[in-house]
Amino acid sequence: MGRRRLLLLLKPLNSYSFHQSTGPSRSINPKVSRYLDNRCNVHKEAIQFCKDILQRKQVDWDATFRGHLSEPIQNVDLVVTIGGDGTLLQASHLLNDSIPLLGVNSDPTQPQEVQELGSEFDATRSTGYLCAATIKNFEQIINDILEGRTAPSEISRMSIRVNSMPLSTYALNDILVSDPCPASASRFSFRIMKDGQSRTPLVNCRSSGLRVCTAAGSSAAMQSAGGFSMPVLSRNLQYMVREPISPKDNLSLMHGSIKPDETMDIDWYNKEGLIYIDGSRPVHPVHHGDTIQVSSHAPILKLFLPKHVLPSKI
């Protein structure tokens, strides 16, 4: 086998620069400024640390910031993201089902820091829920990968179609369908389909939108909204109508599961709407009369998962 080819996909350094003043009257808590500067430095040091490790390995590698890529990633054997879950999610949108992905959390939350500063501001850092590595274990994990001692998990993703046309991006975590204005009501109907037949009655909704998640995304916004966490290797999807207005008899249908052999068909009745995929981007517009179909009929993602996410062995 030839030399392995790796791509490092990096969170941009300017992600931490939003605290800089843009006007003469703006001021910021000095502790917050030092905290953000420290986060940026920790991230830069993590990038350099990983590069130094790879420099000693029998691999060819290149590095680029995530904003510099928009085309599908090809001709590499492994993608390593250095940042947090946002960088990992963005990488997943550029990968098919053949190239594995490893996430490095470059800036993990420091419990002591949260305890000391939590009464003044939110001092949490990167969650990195799907990131298997930090600088503490990166060399061991990359050795295990390169020497074939560990294999990636096959994670389900979500396919989205609008008027029968598939979107080019698959969701790894979740989608949110809503009016462009978060204060406006969203009007839509949906039903769960199987083999061309309706498995549920048509549910007509006025609400603040509809969220659908994969198993990997079920512990994020879905769980925060009252949903349930799913085993990460599950192929099911989970949906929840957000803040339904007068649900009445359909209350039991406002939250449920979509099995691998089922689809959810959504008819959109607002003048405009947006499909947010894995956060605030990418975004796809929809209009009155459009039909959206979601399912788990998507290529899997090969992802090296942290041990705490993987199912316990019996």
Domain of 100, CATH number, reads 3.40.50.10330
Among 95, 123, 151, the domain-final residue is 151
Q: Number of folded domains in the chain?
A: 2
| Same domain as 186, residue 134 | no
Q: Write down the pTM of the prediction.
A: 0.93
| Same domain as 198, residue 129 | no
Smallest CA-to-CA distance from 257 within 229, 220, 283 is with 229
- pLDDT at residue 314, as a whole number: 44
- pLDDT at residue 1, as a whole number: 53
Answer for the pair 59, 80: CB distance below 8 angstroms, yes or no. no
Among 127, 151, 175, the domain-final residue is 151
- pLDDT at residue 251, as a whole number: 83
- pLDDT at residue 18, as a whole number: 57
Give the CA-trace dihedral at 246, 252, 257, 259, to 10 degrees.
Answer: -120
Residue appearing with tokens 């959504």: 266
Domain that holds residue 253: 159-298
Among 135, 151, 167, the domain-final residue is 151
Measured CA to CA, the distance from residue 221 to residue 209 in angstroms comes to: 13
312 falls within a domain: no
- pLDDT at residue 249, as a whole number: 67
What the block records as the tokens of 189 is 């109907």
Measured CA to CA, the distance from residue 103 to residue 83 in angstroms comes to: 8
79 falls within a domain: yes
Q: What is the mean pLDDT of each run of 10 residues along the chain (314 residues)?
A: 89 76 62 91 97 95 94 96 96 96 97 93 93 97 96 97 97 97 95 94 95 96 94 97 83 94 98 95 96 98 92 63
